[in-house]
């Protein structure tokens, strides 16, 4: 798709790119950004002209709603460059649709597809040198929206800022992780905002996660309000393999409808794995760990794709999982197949990848 930037978006280029000073070999996830960003204001009940302009600070009144009432949502996506230097997005419509679902739940205006998707394509076209080839390399994409109206009044803002930031990313092997099953803390309420990619969901996790880390764990597996069902791991969806079947919880108003999650479910089915989407009980996982039928647990999300879990703790008891890496790990196989589709190194029979 060709986009006439000058027609649909106002574009102000940087005077000098900082790409020469960027160390593509040593990339810290989400820490540094490309030369430009897309911004678009919402006011007078309408989205205004979107602008692509040099990455720069945002200036807001100290009483802006986002600072006081957390009215903010975001998305996480990636772009990949193939061997022919073509750049591809992975299921961008899914992120666009979820962004607007989050917007509704947070009483924010839905964004136009032109601004979100065409704007993203225009921005990446400008920044294409920032996308590096090769399995593991990607461009992390962060669309977000914040409430900008001033006034410390606990009601929805009438003014918003939509923005897209781009950050070069590299996959890294962080090792398998240890997790703690939540027995007291929760990330989401029944009838709450857990299914939205809302800013407030994340800050709620920081303190419990800090306590878990101080106790030697990497993440928390979040449970429902009765702490009997396993729902998410850290900021990822979570999958369990008992014998030869994979289980993951259905989405709900507490669980994010993850794009990696739904892609893995479809991919697993296509590859002939047994996979069941149904509530996963703490008790059955503990029992399976005790009787040796629990083979794998893994988190799934855009940033890490799949994160293998090697041990979990429940009621102060640690349960170690077997090492399946050389014995047909489902997690490793699915991760390999999905990342190859994303990087255009394998056939994309699902039609998930979208060329820019």
Is 267 near a copy of itself (CB under 8 A)? Answer: no
Q: Which is nearer to a copy of itself, 223 or 329 (CB)?
A: 223
CB 42 within 8 A of CB 73: no
Q: Which residues contact 117 (CB under 8 A, 6 or more apart)?
A: 92, 93, 96
DSSP state at residue 209: H
Q: Which residues contact 315 (CB under 8 A, 6 or more apart)?
A: 183
Stretch of residues binding a copy of itself (CB under 8 A), selected from 17-25, 50-58, 310-318, 328-336: 50-58
Tokens 């027609």 label which residue? 7
Stretch of residues binding a copy of itself (CB under 8 A), selected from 54-62, 115-123, 127-135, 314-322: 54-62
Question: How near is the Cβ of 32 to a copy of itself at its closest, in Å?
Answer: 8
Q: Which is nearer to a copy of itself, 26 or 349 (CB)?
A: 26
One character per residue 103-142, x = contact with a copy of itself (rule: CB under 8 A): -xxxx--------------------------------x-x
CA distance 181 to 187: 12
Nearest C-alpha neighbor of 167 from the set 138, 146, 144, 135? 138
Q: Which residues contact 57 (CB under 8 A, 6 or more apart)?
A: none
Question: How near is the Cβ of 299 to a copy of itself at its closest, in Å?
Answer: 13
CA distance 167 to 74: 15
CA dihedral 19, 24, 27, 30 (to 10 degrees): 40
**Binding to a copy of itself, residues 290-329 (CB under 8 A):** none
Strands 72-74 and 77-81: unpaired
**What is the chain's Cα-based Rg?**
21
- Near a copy of itself by CB under 8 A: residue from 79, 123, 179, 188: 188
Nearest C-alpha neighbor of 70 from the set 157, 167, 184? 157
Strands 294-301 and 236-242: antiparallel
Question: How near is the Cβ of 281 to a copy of itself at its closest, in Å?
Answer: 18
Stretch of residues binding a copy of itself (CB under 8 A), selected from 8-16, 151-159, 289-297, 313-321: 151-159
Question: How near is the Cβ of 179 to a copy of itself at its closest, in Å?
Answer: 15
CB 161 within 8 A of CB 28: no
- Near a copy of itself by CB under 8 A: residue from 42, 74, 130, 162: 74
One character per residue 202-241, x = contact with a copy of itself (rule: CB under 8 A): xxxxxxxxx--------------x-x-------x------
Stretch of residues binding a copy of itself (CB under 8 A), selected from 57-65, 122-130, 256-264, 318-326: 57-65
Is 186 near a copy of itself (CB under 8 A)? Answer: yes
List residues near a copy of itself by CB under 8 A: 28-31, 33, 37, 55-64, 66-72, 74, 104-107, 140, 142, 144, 146-147, 150-156, 163, 165, 167, 182, 184-193, 198-210, 225, 227, 235
């Amino acid at each position: 798709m060709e986009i006439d930037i000058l027609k649909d978006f106002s574009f102000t280029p940087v005077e000098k790119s900082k790409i020469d000073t960027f160390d593509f070999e040593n990339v810290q996830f989400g820490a540094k950004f490309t030369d430009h960003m897309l911004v678009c204001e919402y006011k007078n009940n309408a989205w205004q002209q979107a602008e692509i302009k040099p990455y720069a600070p945002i200036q807001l009144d100290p009483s802006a709603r986002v600072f006081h009432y957390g009215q903010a949502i975001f998305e996480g996506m990636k772009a990949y460059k193939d061997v022919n230097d073509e750049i591809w997005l992975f299921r961008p419509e899914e992120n666009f649709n979820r962004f607007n679902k989050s917007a509704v739940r947070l009483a924010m205006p839905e964004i136009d597809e032109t601004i979100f998707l065409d704007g993203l394509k225009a921005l990446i076209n400008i920044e294409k040198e920032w996308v590096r080839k090769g399995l593991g390399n990607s461009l992390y994409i962060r669309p977000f929206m914040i409430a900008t109206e001033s006034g410390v009044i606990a009601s929805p803002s009438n003014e918003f800022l939509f923005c897209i930031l781009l950050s070069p990313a590299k996959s890294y092997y962080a090792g398998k992780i240890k997790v703690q099953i939540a027995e007291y803390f929760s990330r989401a309420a029944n009838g709450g905002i857990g299914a939205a990619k809302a800013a407030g969901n994340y800050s709620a996790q920081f303190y419990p996660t800090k306590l878990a880390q101080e106790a030697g764990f990497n993440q928390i597996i979040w449970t429902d309000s009765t702490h009997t069902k396993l729902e998410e791991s850290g900021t990822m969806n979570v999958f369990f393999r008992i014998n030869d079947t994979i289980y993951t919880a259905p989405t709900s108003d507490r669980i994010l409808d993850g794009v990696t999650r739904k892609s893995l479910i479809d991919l697993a089915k296509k590859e002939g794995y047994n996979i069941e989407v149904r509530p996963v009980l703490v008790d059955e996982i503990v029992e399976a760990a005790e009787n040796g039928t629990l083979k794998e647990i893994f988190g799934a999300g855009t940033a890490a794709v799949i994160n293998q879990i090697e041990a979990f703790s429940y009621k102060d008891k640690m349960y170690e999982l077997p090492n399946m890496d050389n014995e047909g790990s489902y997690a490793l196989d699915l991760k390999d197949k999905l990342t190859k589709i994303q990087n255009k190194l394998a056939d994309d029979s699902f039609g998930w990848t979208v060329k820019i």
